[in-house]
Amino acid sequence: MPTASHKERLVSNTIAPRYQTENGYLTQTTRKTYIKRAVEAGRLPPQARRMETITSLQASHDPQMPIQFWQLFAEAN
């Protein structure tokens, strides 16, 4: 079995490249709209749009912190 380098990861017995996370098509627009509506509905705090743990593409390593759907998709790639 081939050894994965620091830039690759083993995925289902195949070597897949590891990419830098970045905003994709509609990520910023969708994230902004979702946060606005979640704040209005009381699901996120009023300062959510300024909280890096919410707006970042990188999910927190703390298992107690909720993951946002854009973080999930960024981690999956």
41 or 71: which leads in pLDDT: 41
List the chain domain ranges.
Answer: 24-59
Q: Is pTM beyond 0.85 here?
A: no
Which is more confidently placed, 3 or 55?
55
Q: Which of the two residues, 74 and 72, has the higher pLDDT score?
A: 72
Give pLDDT tens digits for 5-61: 445 444 455 565 566 666 676 778 889 999 999 999 999 999 999 999 999 888 888
70 CB-contact burial (10 Å; exposed 0-12 / middle 13-18 / buried 19+) = buried
